[in-house]
A and B are shown apart, each in its own frame.
Chain A
Amino acid sequence: SAVISQKPSRDICQRGTSLTIQCQVDSQVTMMFWYRQQPGQSLTLIATANQGSEATYESGFVIDKFPISRPNLTFSTLTVSNMSPEDSSIYLCSVANRDRYNGYTFGSGTRLTVV
């Protein structure tokens, strides 16, 4: 299974600022996924990031608020823009392992607090 390094692990940010979260995978993967987990809630898919094309956003999420880059097959970033306290969540990246029988691997998460 793939191994993902996600940074930062946590941050406290001022409202109105932006934070960029990075995920580095130890192998080439076609699709990477970004999830948000609001406090005490389940995981919600923000977008799917394919290398060489625009990310595909789920309903309720827009590119201006959550721009995503995918410059190569092992790296992706998610930016949370113009933050408000409602953006306080855990953000996780994920990849589908080459063989889905091995499931999906998740990064360790970024715990974001907006004050």
Chain B
Amino acid sequence: AQKVTQAQTEISVVEKEDVTLDCVYETRDTTYYLFWYKQPPSGELVFLIRRNSFDEQNEISGRYSWNFQKSTSSFNFTITASQVVDSAVYFCALGGGSNYKLTFGKGTLLTVNP
């Protein structure tokens, strides 16, 4: 069975602080996909990134960066110089190689205060 753990339920930071959201996963699939989604208060899910299991390169996109470590089954997400608009719930999700189902973590509510 697949499992995604986001241990941080809520994080509150002041604008311009850096913040890291943790994600730990469990799977028996040898090929799998990891995702991060943002859910602002309006409710829609915004795709941020996908990482497949055989690509351990870290990625940076503007203020966002992701650290994938297969050895520790973690896929952490860092926002540099946070902004109020970053306030949202962030979900980490796992997809198996043989099926298209996504398993979501419980999400982390990030509040960025001015």
A23 within 8 A of B: no
Which secondary structure dominates where chain B touches chain A?
strand
> Are A92 and B104 in contact, with the CB atoms below 8 A?
no
Residues in B whose Cβ lies below 8 Å from that of A105 = 47
> Are B33 and A100 in contact, with the CB atoms below 8 A?
yes
Which secondary structure dominates where chain A touches chain B?
strand
A41–B47 CA distance with the chains assembled, in angstroms: 18
A108–B95 CA distance with the chains assembled, in angstroms: 21
A113 within 8 A of B: no
Residues in B whose Cβ lies below 8 Å from that of A33 = 100-102
A102 within 8 A of B: yes
Task: Tally the A-B contacts, defined by beta carbons under 8 Å.
Answer: 52
CB contact between A104 and one of B52, B102, B105, B107 (< 8 Å): that residue:
B102
> Are A100 and B95 in contact, with the CB atoms below 8 A?
yes
A94–B93 CA distance with the chains assembled, in angstroms: 14
Q: Separation in Å of the B87 CB from the closest CB of chain A?
A: 16
A105–B49 CA distance with the chains assembled, in angstroms: 12
A25–B29 CA distance with the chains assembled, in angstroms: 29
> Are B91 and A101 in contact, with the CB atoms below 8 A?
no
Q: Separation in Å of the B31 CB from the closest CB of chain A?
A: 11
Listed in ascending order, the chain A residues whose CB lies under 8 Å from chain B are 1, 31, 33, 41-45, 48, 90, 92, 94, 96, 100-109, 111
- Contact pattern, B 28-69, Cβ under 8 Å of A = 1, otherwise 0: 000001010100000111010110100000000000000000
A60–B35 CA distance with the chains assembled, in angstroms: 25
> Are A43 and B104 in contact, with the CB atoms below 8 A?
yes
Nearest CB in chain B to that of A6: its residue: B44
> Are A101 and B50 in contact, with the CB atoms below 8 A?
yes
A104-B106 CB under 8 A given contacts A33-B101, A43-B91, A92-B45 = no
> Which interface residue of B33, B43, B107 has the most chain A CB atoms within 10 A?
B43
> Are A101 and B52 in contact, with the CB atoms below 8 A?
yes
Residues in A whose Cβ lies below 8 Å from that of B100 = 31, 33, 48, 96, 100
